[in-house]
Amino acid sequence: MILLTGEVITFLVLEGVLLILLMVATAVAVPILRHWDFQATSDRQYAREKRAYLVGLVITFALGAKIILLPFFAHTLDRLATVVPGAMCAAGVINANGYGFPLLGWKLGVLVLSGVWLLVNRRDVQATEFPHLKPKLGLFLVIAGAVLVETVLDVLYLTGISTLTPVQCCSIIYGVASPAGGLPWGLDTQILLPLFYLVYLLAMVLSAARYLVLNFLANLGFLVLGYLAVVYFFGTYVYQLPTHQCPFCMLQPEYFWVGYLLWGTLFFGTFFGMAGWLVRLLTGRAVADTGRWCMVLLTVFTVVCTLYPLVYRLRNGVWLT
Amino acid sequence: MILLQGVDRIYNAGRPDECAALKDVDLTVAAGELVALSGVSGSGKTTLLSLVGALIKPTRGRIEVAGQSIAKLPDAHASRFRHRTVGFIFQHHNLFPELTVQDNLLAPLVPSQLSSRDEQARIAQALEQAAIAHKAGQTVRDLSGGERQRCAIARALVTNPELILCDEPTAHLDQANTEMFAAILMALKEAGKTVLMATHDPRLEKLKCVDRVVHLAGGKIVDR
């Protein structure tokens, strides 16, 4: 049974513990949100302020742990490929039932919200008047609901993986003959690569200049372009195989786990690029250092991506075609 | 240095055991001043010190210390404020009995993230100021009452605070130790520290270094 795999047990136990923490935090946060009045000087308000600080710490821990759990989830899927027939990597496992891809998307959404919450919380605890407490706790309630749904999806997905029914491997799912085998919107790599570098430069300039809305849009664009560029161009150099376009195989040790670095820097880099505007929406002010983090992470991502074809060309004297 | 305007502190407000510890208190203490708060037990001296030290919050009123409004300061900020600005000498010392004198002094320095050399220099200076350097390696549990008091003074001084708050500092001291404490007070005054001291010890009120005695009764200032 798939649930008896060590990684799955660890993952579900951790998710369960974090869900409990977040539900307890919800139970504490709701009355704080309902009765909050910073101007009041009653013992009850002072007690609320203490609880608000404590609940903020608990949420910070739980959401921070959930962010760390996402790569562990990817690792778990990768390990399950050894027990799910037909699967060669996490791609086959995630496609093992209808919950896999929606769950992955949901997790990424929760991650974005959690990241925004952590930034808003940081700003709130740095101030002396809890200025962002209400939007912070309001956002937390949305996240708590999303985490509840996520945990249900976790259980439905992991209990729905059969160790008897064969699944498609990544060569089928992401092969050149599959529906995902070609670039969307009529793009080809001749257009994709200049666009990729152009939007990267645009994101750098906008991050430095702190144009928040434009930077949000540029990073959203770069998230999509970065994904496509890795899957349809740079990834083929990672695998040294022009027909292999799997976004998951690069998480394996054969490829030095470079997928964690590429997807991690792309996702967190674009998150920081977008977070400036999202945080300003909630708090009225941007966060000072998100642009810097965006620039560092996306530069690491772009440099690592670029090195793969260059090193291949230097070693072999030809490009992959 | 210290400004209190219209400060009330009511414990258990709205409950049958409601208790107004301070009522409409106005008080100003200039930088470098040494002020004694006198009054019987329950007159509000300790509550006033706790408010000035941001250990508790007022039910009403404005409190400023060292230019910072602290009446509604969140706990995490209040901790930083205390660490930066205030040294406490508690009535019951509040030391770690299992630790040595030196380690008791090290504890408040930890958040400062000083180098080990700077920490040792600060500790040595505070031990010297409180005349307890000869007991640096001894555990607090093995000290006499007067030595514990001096250890508590050294701990209050080790962060080099602008403001020293003392709550009944001589309550458990004999004549010799009280005189030693008076000498330390004099030195603090000369060093430009602001000192607010709650006491009902008439020996302290009469010290030459005491600039003012503020009398509290029933939670109100009755005489300055």
pTM attached to this predicted model: 0.85
Residue whose entry in the numeric block shows the structure tokens 């710490």: A57
Whole-angstrom distance, CA of residue A157 vs CA of residue A2: 11
Tokens of A155: 């259980």
Assign B177 a pLDDT band (cuts: 50, 70, 90).
Answer: confident
Average pLDDT value for residue range B82-105: 94
| Least confident window among A133-137, A221-225, B147-151, B205-209 | B205-209
Q: What does residue B34 show for φ and ψ, rounded to 5 degrees?
A: -115, 110
Closest Cβ–Cβ partner in B12, B60, B77 for A128? B77
Measured CA to CA, the distance from residue B75 to residue B63 in angstroms comes to: 15
| Per-residue pLDDT at B57 | 93
Is A130 part of the contact surface with chain B (CB cutoff 8 Å)? yes
How far apart CA A313 and CA A316 sit, in angstroms, is 5
* Separation in Å, CA of A41 to nearest CA in chain B: 5
Rg, C-alpha atoms of chain B: 17
For A48, name the nearest residue in chain B, comparing CA atoms only.
B74
Residue type, A50: K
Query: Do the Cβ atoms of A41 and B12 come within 8 Å?
Result: no
Q: Which of B8, B12, B75, B84 to mutate to test the interface with A (most CBs of A within 10 A)?
A: B75
Q: Which of A36, A54, A128 best probes binding to B when mutated, by most B CB atoms within 10 angstroms?
A: A128
Query: Does residue B60 have a pLDDT over 90?
Result: yes
In this prediction, residues B82-98 reach a mean pLDDT of 93
Say which of B12, B60, B75 has its CB closest to residue A41. Answer: B60
pLDDT along chain A (321 residues), means of 10: 80 95 97 93 90 95 95 92 87 89 95 95 91 95 97 93 84 70 78 94 91 93 95 92 87 92 96 93 83 95 96 91 72
> From the list B57, B60, B76, which residue is nearest A125 (CB)?
B76
Phi, psi dihedral angles at B8 (to 5 degrees): -115, 145
Query: Of A123, A126, A120, A130, which is closest to residue A40 (Cα–Cα)?
Result: A130
Of A42, A43, A128, the CB nearest to B74: A128
> In angstroms, rounded to a whole number, what is the distance separating the alpha carbons of residues B85 and B55?
13
Distance CA A72, CA A66 (A): 10
Q: Do B72 and A129 touch (CB under 8 A)?
A: yes
Tokens 């990834």 correspond to A235
Contact A46 B57 (CB under 8 A): yes
- pLDDT-based confidence at B202, cuts 50/70/90? confident
Cα four-point dihedral sign A153, A158, A159, A163: positive
Task: From chain B, pick out residues whose CB is under 8 angstroms from the CB of A60.
Answer: none
ipTM entry: 0.75
Selected residues 29-58 of chain A with any CB under 8 Å from a CB in chain B = 38, 41-43, 46, 49-50, 53
Res. B172: pLDDT tops 90: no
Which chain B residues are within 8 Å of A130, Cβ to Cβ? Answer: 74
* 3-state DSSP of A126-177: HCCCCCCHHHHHHHHHHHHHHHHHHHHHHHHHHHCCCCCCCCCCHHHHCCCC
